[in-house]
Structure 1
């Protein structure tokens, strides 16, 4: 790279970093940072890049390594778009965490086609945890109303926590089922946070956490992350078609994704015990469910 090009790249990168740093600092005028960050040049130097001051005053014009740029973006609490703009300014490839545009449309089309061939209850979940589709066995298993007023609740968070939908009350009918429900919620939320670590400052991610907090489940959010338990079995009261009686059944979930991206994914629900297999058979699932 020639001197002029190097100087130009240096100015662009420093301009991007400083613009983000000042933007974060200005927000502190309204509300102090929870971790008492000050977003000063010295703090950035100390916390993210020990040579930042040298870069700032021009002692060096060498563009930091890609991982260093990512570390600076983390310190600055960048959204996915801001981090990618910073990477591009430094001459590095962006990080594409989620599908978008036509690629997302094709993935959703694949998911819809695939779900139609699955003879078990299933739903399609986007990275925002919005439910992009569900089949009739799913709707019948969990008694999801056809009322259009519930369309705004088509999100995995609502499905799990909203007591106005049948899933939560039918999954917490005694002490054991309640503990299992809480454990599943804790494991899921921690797994979600790990999966989307690079997106945690994005608007959609913050909106999802706000949705969780709306349900007053701080005891779930505040449990320290730990190694998840391997038993993914869940229990719910399901309706026996022959008698109309609600009986406890045990089921598990498996997820299917297209390509290398985790989302969109198809979440399939499979029976675990004899009572569940009977209920699933009544939903039109294969009579011999023992192979699952």
Structure 2
């Protein structure tokens, strides 16, 4: 099923929601019935609206289908039950421990850049090293809410400074495509279409995988996709990691991710340390 397929609306029956997620996960009714330990007949009746599932059954099916918490709430409502998972703002007192953990992770990563993003790739928080890399960016792209993918690939954003733009762009679009497949989020699909339509400067050229394998990135070839970012202090070669909360039962926390960038070589580490000190 295409990740661009529209999700059911809030007024659609539960069976339509269930069919959408089953097809999104490329499962037959037989496959899902086996995973959820229910009869195929009963599952068929639930999907066609001839039977209504219990609350426990809704949660079991959602778990087997790996439905995100936000969409699990939609499944519960469609079946006539109250939402189970709360969505709070990050400054809510109930999330204070999580917010402190985020801030500690960001600050502890200095002098290397790190930022927190929500499910729409909008900037939630960042350490002091991130703004140092954004000098000269078009002010419109830095007006909240800041979308970090748009900031990265827009012609007036970081794109002209990314030496391996074709490679990095393909990496980001693939990550976004995977997220769309997992969440069935049509707004993310629209964002991907927007990003894919951005022009790529002719100077960027195609990715020369042979050169990558035999050049400075030889030790990373086939393992990680680095980011080569040109700055006034020299070119930074960065690799990134993503950190998420392990056991969230809050929608906001499940959708939050911390992107941490590490130097891929000693020169990058030295440049970042010097930039931070200045």
Question: TM-score if structure 1 supplies the norm length?
Answer: 0.56
Counterpart residue number, 1:206: 186
- The SS at the match of 2:243 is strand
- The two structures, once aligned, show a CA RMSD in angstroms of 4.8
* C-alpha contact 2:52 2:79 (8 A) present in aligned 1: no
Aligned match for 1:215, one of 195, 207, 215? 195
Task: Give how far 1:235 is off.
Answer: 1.1
The whole-number CA distance in structure 1 between the counterparts of 2:256 and 2:229 is: 25
Shift of 1:20: 4.9
CA distance in 2, matches of 1:52, 1:143: 56
* SS in structure 2 at match of 1:208: helix
> By how many angstroms is 1:53 displaced?
7.1
Structure 1 or 2, whichever has the larger Rg, is 1
Deviations 1:195-218 (A, max 9, x none): xx2x32xxxx32232223223449
- Change over 3 Å in CA distance of 1:104–1:164 after alignment to 2: farther
Kept in 2: contact 1:108–1:264 (CA 8 A): no
- Equivalence for 2:212: none
Aligned equivalent of 2:247: 260
**Distance (whole Å) between structure 2 residues aligned to residue 147 and residue 57 of structure 1:** 51
- Is 1:183 paired with 2:175? no
Q: Give the Cα–Cα distance (whole angstroms) in 2 for the partners of residues 62 and 153 of structure 1.
A: 39
Indicate the residue corresponding to 2:229 in structure 1: 236
Equivalent pairs counted in the alignment come to: 221
Cα separation, partners in 2 of 1:256 and 1:88, compared to 1, 3 Å:
same
C-alpha distance 230-53 of structure 1, shift in aligned 2 (>3 A) = closer
Contact 1:111 1:264 in 2 (8 A): no
Q: Counterpart in 1 of 2:98?
A: 107
1:276 and 2:276 equivalent? no
1:117 aligns with one of 99, 105, 108: 108
Unaligned 5+ segments in structure 1 are: 1-15, 24-44, 220-228, 241-246, 286-292
1:169 matched to 2:149: no
Q: In the alignment, is the contact (CA less than 8 A) between 1:123 and 1:132 conserved in 2?
A: yes
Stretch moving more, 135-144 or 49-58: 49-58
Normalized against structure 2, the TM-score is what? 0.58
- CA offsets per residue over residues 120-140 of structure 1, 9 Å max, x none? 211111223210122221111
Shift of residue 68, structure 1, vs aligned partner: 7.6
Write the deviation string for residues 213-242 of structure 1: whole angstroms up to 9, x where unpaired: 2234499xxxxxxxxx531322111221xx
Q: How far has the Cα of 1:83 moved from its partner?
A: 0.8
User: Does the CA-based 8 Å contact 1:153-1:159 persist in structure 2?
Assistant: no
Partner of 1:35: none
Instruction: Please give the alpha-carbon distance, in whole angstroms, between the structure 1 residues aligned to 2:53 and 2:191.
Output: 43
Note if contact 2:115-2:124 (Cα within 8 Å) is conserved in structure 1: yes
Say if 2:118 and 2:256, in contact at 8 Å, map to a contact too. Answer: yes
Point out which structure has higher relative CO (alpha carbons under 8 A, 6+ apart): 2
Show structure 2 runs of 5+ residues with no match: 1-9, 18-28, 33-39, 200-221, 249-253
